[in-house]
């Protein structure tokens, strides 16, 4: 009777770990469906192999080890079909992302320094600060047509400079996103 109660208590503890298991699995794979599958597989294995648990105090570590193995097995099965280089990075703060962002910022700053002061002012006010053409016209005390022509020329020159800086001169470093203006 005591063994049956102990087994039941351990089964309940395994079931209670589901939220923790899911959070961990999701953190590993960033895919809700896969995380759910990993947790389900790990819990089924743990519940069906509960008799092999040697130290009940180590239940949590044992269940997480099972899930780790499930995740590794999944990864092995995916090896032939997943090209790591084509995967999107799962975070914005990864060293690779930060390095790429820093490289782009440096190249844009270098190109911006090569623009004339009039062009730098217009580009920074419109494209970086999001001012409308009419606002830039007022800030710089020039006609709106002048703002538009300076901006057009500045963007063209900036694009040319960035293309020259791009590795192999094959593609632009940045895509120009222009907000709607008056």
pLDDT of residue 90: 62
Say if CB 150 and CB 118 are below 8 A apart.
yes
Region 121-130: mean pLDDT is 84
- C-alpha angle 96-98-102 in degrees, rounded to nearest 5: 120
Alpha carbons 149 and 181: distance in angstroms, whole number: 14
pLDDT of residue 139: 84
- Please tell me the pTM assigned to this model: 0.44
Q: Is the pLDDT of residue 173 over 50?
A: no
pLDDT of residue 87: 62
pLDDT of residue 127: 85
Region 131-136: mean pLDDT is 88
Picking from 19-33, 75-89, 166-180, which range would have the lowest pLDDT averaged per residue? 166-180
Alpha carbons 103 and 100: distance in angstroms, whole number: 5
pLDDT of residue 79: 66
Q: Is the pLDDT of residue 174 over 70?
A: no
pLDDT of residue 129: 80
Give the N- to C-terminal CA distance of the chain in Å, as an integer. Answer: 80
């Amino acid at each position: 009777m005591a063994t049956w109660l102990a087994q039941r208590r351990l089964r309940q503890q395994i079931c209670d770990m589901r939220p923790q298991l899911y959070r961990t699995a999701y953190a590993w794979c960033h895919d809700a469906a896969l995380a759910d599958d990993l947790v389900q597989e790990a819990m089924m294995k743990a519940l069906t192999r509960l008799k092999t648990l040697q130290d009940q105090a180590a239940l949590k570590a044992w269940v997480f080890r099972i899930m780790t193995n499930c995740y590794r097995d999944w990864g092995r099965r995916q090896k032939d079909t997943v090209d790591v280089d084509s995967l999107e990075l799962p975070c914005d703060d990864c060293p690779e992302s930060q390095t790429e962002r820093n490289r782009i910022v440096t190249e844009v700053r270098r190109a911006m320094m090569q623009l004339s002061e009039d062009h730098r002012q217009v580009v920074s006010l419109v494209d970086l600060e999001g001012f409308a053409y009419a606002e830039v016209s007022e800030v710089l005390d020039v006609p709106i047509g002048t703002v538009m022509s300076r901006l057009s020329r500045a963007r063209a020159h900036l694009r040319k400079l960035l293309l020259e800086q791009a590795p192999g001169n094959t593609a632009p470093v940045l895509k120009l996103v222009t907000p709607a203006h008056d």
